[in-house]
Structure 1
Amino acid sequence: MYDTILVGTDGSAAANRAVAHALDQAEANGAALHAIFVVDTGRYGEPALSSTELVVDSIEDWGREQLDEVVDRADDLGVDVVTRCCHGDPHVEIIAYADDVDADVIVLGYQGQSHGSTDHIGSVTDRVVRNAGRPVIVV
């Protein structure tokens, strides 16, 4: 059913559930898995030799750790995964990467790190669902 799956992560509980679902689907379908972490430059800015650079570098390092965890979990299942850590607007970068790899489906958590416990879908997930032009599974 799926040949290429893209999962977005920000390390939140919902993103971790999305990663688990994407891994299950990749294993069941023999699909290629791609995982993306986006440093939100709209929220944190782009570093320019300031204290922002330290914050952004720290977030990028943390994002790479999240992606490494996806790789470790995928290795345990025998699933190949390609990771991407980038800067930009998360929904734009997720959709662009899905287009680049021609993902059959995008898997995202219901809410990300910036949300408390509300009943509303997260803004990044909402924007991806509205604009992706391909199936999106919200976990």
Structure 2
Amino acid sequence: MYNTILVPTDGSEQAARAVEHGMKLAEQYDATLHTMFVVDTRRYGDPTLSSTELIVEEMEDVGTDLVTDIEQRATDRGLAVVSRVCHGVPDEEIVAYATEINADIIVLGAHGKKRANRIPIGSVAERVVRTADRPVLTT
């Protein structure tokens, strides 16, 4: 049923649940797990000024650490895994990457670090659900 599963992360608790669920699906269907982190250029801007460049580099390091951890955990479970860290608008990058890899499903947290549990779905998840041309599962 699933050959390619995309699990974006922002390091939030919700994303961690999505990663775990994505790994279980990958195990069940012997699928390749793709994980990604997007440095939000709307939030951090383009790295043209020295202070902005430092922030962007820090966010890249955070993202790299997150996807490396997921990659190691997936590998330990015997899963095929591909990691990606990129810059852009998160929902747009997630949908574009899902299309690029022809993901069968996108599994992501219902809301990220910036949101409290009082809302049912965050803005990134909402836009991915609305614009993706493939199934999206939120946790």
| Bin for the TM-score computed over the shorter chain | over 0.9
2:107 is matched with which residue?
Answer: 107
- SS in structure 2 of the partner of residue 118 of structure 1: coil
- SS in structure 1 of the partner of residue 134 of structure 2: coil
- 1:134 partnered with 2:134: yes
For 1:10-89, what aligned pairs fall within 5 Å after superposition? 10-89=10-89
Deviation at 1:76, TM superposition (A): 1.6
- 58-67 vs 46-55, which deviates more? 46-55
Give the ranges of 4+ consecutive aligned residues of structure 1 lying more than 3 Å apart after TM superposition. none
**Structure 2 unaligned regions, length at least 5:** none
- SS in structure 1 of the partner of residue 36 of structure 2: strand
Deviation at 1:116, TM superposition (A): 2.4
Deviation at 1:89, TM superposition (A): 0.2
**Structure 1 unaligned regions, length at least 5:** none
Q: What root-mean-square deviation, in Å, do the aligned CA atoms of Structure 1 and Structure 2 show? A: 0.8
- Aligned equivalents of 2:92, 2:114: Cα separation in 1: 17
- Aligned equivalents of 2:97, 2:58: Cα separation in 1: 23
TM-score normalised per structure 1:
0.97
TM-score normalised per structure 2:
0.97
- SS in structure 2 of the partner of residue 99 of structure 1: helix
Deviation at 1:119, TM superposition (A): 2.2
- 1:90 partnered with 2:102: no
Q: Deviations over 1:66-94 (max 9, x none)?
A: 00111111012100110110000000000
The letter for the 2-side match of 1:114 is: K
- Percent sequence identity over matched residues? 53
The letter for the 2-side match of 1:31 is: A
- Aligned equivalents of 2:41, 2:111: Cα separation in 1: 18
Deviation at 1:120, TM superposition (A): 3.1
